Amino acid sequence: MPELRLVIFDVDGTLVDSQADILAAMAAAYAAEGITLPDRAAVLSIVGLSLPVAMESLSPGLDPARRARMVETYKDAYVALREKARLHETSPLYPGARAALDRLQADPFTLLGVATGKSRRGLDKLIEGHGLEGLFVTTQVSDHHPSKPHPAMLLACLSETGVAADRAVMVGDTRFDMDMARAAGVRGIGVDWGYHAADTLTADAMIGDFSELDAAVDGLIGQATEQDA
């Protein structure tokens, strides 16, 4: 029998282009505290970090109580946006994302997972909105782990699925994703359409389209139908 393999995805900037919702929710968090919002590039540069770490990175030295309020305001604003707006317009799947997920899941020896800086509430809303229920066997969120690039989320994915690190790969758009993968002993595939410049990712492989994902996964961790010697 072939060994299982695991493909773990980041969400924002990798599977979905959620920048409109992220920027709007961040604007609400800063406005509620009367603080000037950093520019768009700065906000997108912290996508992937857990919210407390992201807020501290954007505005170093924030009073902890103020930072905690901003985190909650962001979460509430994000969920409110999701309830009012059309998900497919404000946080659409990137072209080819759903087809790639379906192709990989169709193989009985390939498992899919998520490791995201989103909260559980935010991820569940997104999965429901895009009809992705049942695709991922393990989903790790910021509520229960240290922020990326700490490897805790990936180690939990490996533990829950029983897949060895050398049979797993992380797909992401930021250096946080690639650094997390490296720290967990997992290979990293970078995508060039996300929120960090491709040349900053130091990934094991780079793809420019979801049609290239299958070959990249096979090249790094072997085909799902191969039997190890």
Active site residues: 10, 12
Residue 34 CB: number of other CB atoms within 10 A? 6
Contact of 78 with 25, CB cutoff 8 Å = yes
Nearest residue to 191 via CA among 12, 2, 3, 6: 12
Helices H / strands E in the chain, number of each: 10, 6
Rounded-to-integer distance, Cα 96 and Cα 57, Å? 32
Rounded-to-integer distance, Cα 95 and Cα 78, Å? 23
